[in-house]
Structure 1
Amino acid sequence: MDFETTFIAQVITVIGFAVGLSIVVASGRYPRHIRGSLRAYSYGKFLLGSAFLIAGYRGGQAPELLIPLANGIGLAGLSMNYTSVRHLQNRPVWPFVPAAVGAAVGLSCLLLLFVGGGIGWVRVLVSFATSAVLLVIAFEVLVRYQGRGIPHYVTGLLCASLAVVYLVRMSAGMAQEDAPATYMLDDRVERATFLLSLLGTVIGAINYVLMASDEFNRELSKLAHTDGLTGALNRRRLFEMGEVEFRRARRYGRELTVLVLDIDRFKSINDHAGHPFGDRVIRAVADCCTGQIRHEDALGRIGGEEFAILLPETGAEAGRMLAERLRGAIERQLAQLGAEAGVTVTCSIGGVSLTREHSEFSDLMAQSDTALYDAKHAGRNQVRFFPEAAHPVPMPA
């Protein structure tokens, strides 16, 4: 069945408004950055629907003005998809980009119509701009997006495919003879482009909701596994990872070191400077630790002012060196923060490295706690390691 472009434009209008309304209503359930992403996406669909509505009913009503208006609004709506992807990643968003893109396209179309470029060159310009925006969205989703899943790949490939479709439309515009501006173009390329845009609108909306759901699940997982104050792992997640690393190290004869860190005289810091300042100290210690350890290491908050650090592939000597580096970094980097409240911020660290004598991960935690108490009793702001057994874990040849 060969539909006219005006009819397809009307269908895209209805679907665009329906999708936009559905998503904006459903967005209220989600966290702030996901909600912002879904709303940006839905506003883009409203703009896109409005653009096709104007384009489909411009007959006899100043088409020289309505054509730039429709194309400008349509490109602004498409650019909102880029904004929504940035929102979904919790990345910086430039809110005026869609308006700037729409205004630039609209003014360029107006100039082409009045200077003498004609409908064909308007078609070329709009097709090129649409392809460019679609390719930018595809790059953002396929390359820059962290934690991509199947919906992300489908969305990115869909955008790239539609970009190719609009490049074909651009080529058709170059070869097209001048046509009246009163009605929409109705050749095979235009109908195919509109039909594929309709299909892309439906599939794209489904995939975008799936992308938002993936991000929401990731957010829930983060809330379940991390400490809300510091962003470090919570106690349960750290112990889960500790069990995994312990079994791996025992099975393959690898090294493993555990550090337990406690902020010295933290109760007096709270009593002297107040709990909000105490929270700042805890966050600062966590940030300092994160800056000193490797990506494969794991930092967890296991108590009020107590942290534990898992150091896979790290022996006793390297563990001692890191612990001493951590202790010194906290003493130096938090000196200015402590001076704000007239307190001194230091830490004591206890550690232990895996040996044959350890049968459970809890043994490592208990012995690192013992070493921590030794450091406390020795005067604080020190590093102590639990005495090593006579038979260390053999390393593979």
Structure 2
Amino acid sequence: MAEPFKNLINPATARHAALHLRRHWRGFDAPRFEALVSEGLDALEFKARALRWADALQATLPDDFDRACGLIEAALAPPLAIDADGEPVGLQGALHPEGIAGWALWGTGEWVARQGQAQPERALQCLHAITQRFTGEFAIRPFIHQQPEAVWPVLQRWTRDPSAHVRRLASEGSRPRLPWGLRLQALVIDPSPTLPLLRALQDDPSAYVRRSVANHLNDIAKDHPGLVAEWVREHRARAGAQREALLRHASRGLIKAGHAPTLAAWGLSQGLQGEATLAIAPARVAVGGAVALQATLRSNARAPQTLVVDYAVHHVKANGASAPKVFKGWKLELAPGEVRALQKSHSLREVTTRRLYPGRHAVDLLVNGVAVASAAFELTA
């Protein structure tokens, strides 16, 4: 069995960090820090461990925030490298011999967010250093929430920073709905403050940065689909391959949902010109099994058709009602008169985000967001 992810924050991590902090301040109480981090750690989940780490720093670092930030910055490992494709080269949880890096810095960033609200400029300077060894995306969000007027000019400046880690933070840290992070409800309502950042970063030379921009736009699409559809329409003009890939990733949720303006922006507004069938086997299957989907598309058009083919499974809920979930299928070019057979296995194993209940499950075949054929299977306990 794989080691639980939460164990990346452990007593050895605390001992390693304490060693490097003490190297730069002989007064640092390393035994106390290690004890505060380690007590009852086995019972804590990942984020709780990071918060425990922040508690331990609060109890052992100097009261003077500027001095404490200087100590942390001095104890950091060199910045993580970026490879030729613009991707970070990390330690994968290993302890860096030259200083603190990796998951130990999640809790360190939480300490900065707690203690630095009275000195946001100094706090952001510390996060600028931390994000080059881990990420500051969680720690910067309380500053955006509480002091946006102090943060936005800094983020705009960071879009031109030499470090890809810092440029990524400008996008990732300001996402409205960052997983594991504080939801920035003001940006959920009105994402316009982040749009200049995304515009500056969408052609960044680093794939690491561009992927963050795509995920940021996908966040916005959940609340403002029309804005993202218009963004795609505007920014596809004269787009190179990298921007095209970013925009497609950014609009993936809207394409799956059949959002008409987004489909139109991608030239997919026209439905299938032809016929479609869908068959499912077996007709009866137990939770934990799988069904085979067999679709056939037949073109009666005189020109090629660019098609995005997905499928929606109407999952039965605990109360007997059903709710559709769209799964990614195929993107294809259907030639005039062509008959294309498509096959896919659909797993019915339960996952942490989806509980399966017995009952009749309808399945819709979606072509460019429009249901063109349906079938069903019976799921048993």
Smaller-chain TM-score bracket: under 0.3
Larger RCO (alpha carbons 8 Å, 6+ apart)? 1
Higher strand share: 2
Higher helix share: 1
TM-score normalised by structure 1 residue count: 0.27
